[in-house]
Chains A and B, each alone.
Chain A
Amino acid sequence: DAGVIQSPRHEVTEMGQEVTLRCKPISGHNSLFWYRQTMMRGLELLIYFNNNVPIDDSGMPEDRFSAKMPNASFSTLKIQPSEPRDSAVYFCASISLGGTGELFFGEGSRLTVL
């Protein structure tokens, strides 16, 4: 079975550019999470969705960040405009609300903003 699929795996961009990160959750999973990982701040929850509806976006740093989940098989995290402090690894994870409680992570998207 395919796991959580994220793209791109690596992105290098310049300050001020728009960045879009994409995630395809595991088929049948109906809860999706976006995390950010940095050396300084560790693993931070940005936002999560249940059944495509945003439940908690209190971790989204500021208005430059937005996330959508238009359907059960796709989500995006957008940063506009990007800044060097946004450089991090962004992880998407999914879980089945009726399952064992194990969260399945993608391999991450490493973002570098110059």
Chain B
Amino acid sequence: GDSVTQMEGPVTLSEEAFLTINCTYTATGYPSLFWYVQYPGEGLQLLLKATKADDKGSNKGFEATYRKETTSFHLEKGSVQVSDSAVYFCALRYNQGGKLIFGQGTELSVKP
């Protein structure tokens, strides 16, 4: 079945370091891909998305490119801040009426 796999956390970085969180997916079709972020004590919120191959989603300095050939959607940011500390979830979804399938989440901790 369809699934999403993320790199294990927690990831601990110093402020201004470069961030990569790996995400790969298994899908029978061509889903849309998403990154959601969960700050402590809150629900998840959409960070960025890409709806087709080679699309790049971006928001708040974060980027991810939909790579069909490697079935990946890695999240990157050039310079992280303490305020980026959160749990990041990669997800896929086929259509407007379908369910969102999440990876297990990757906790990011950024130290000053």
Contacts and interface: CB of A to CB of B under 8 A. Distances in A.
B44 A50 contact: no
B105 A103 contact: no
A102 B96 contact: no
A61 to B, nearest CB: 17
On chain B, which size bracket covers the interface?
Answer: 20 to 34
A107 interface: yes
A42 B36 CA distance: 14
Contact of B105 (A42, A93, A99, A106): A42
Say whether chain A's binding surface is mostly helix, strand, loop, or mixed: strand
Given A42-B104, A43-B102, A43-B105, A103 B97 contact: no
18 contacts: A31-B96, A31-B97, A42-B102, A42-B105, A43-B102, A45-B101, A91-B44, A93-B43, A93-B100, A99-B96, A101-B32, A103-B36, A103-B100, A104-B45, A105-B43, A106-B43, A108-B42, A108-B43
Interface of B: 32, 34, 36, 41-46, 49, 51, 89, 93, 96-97, 99-105
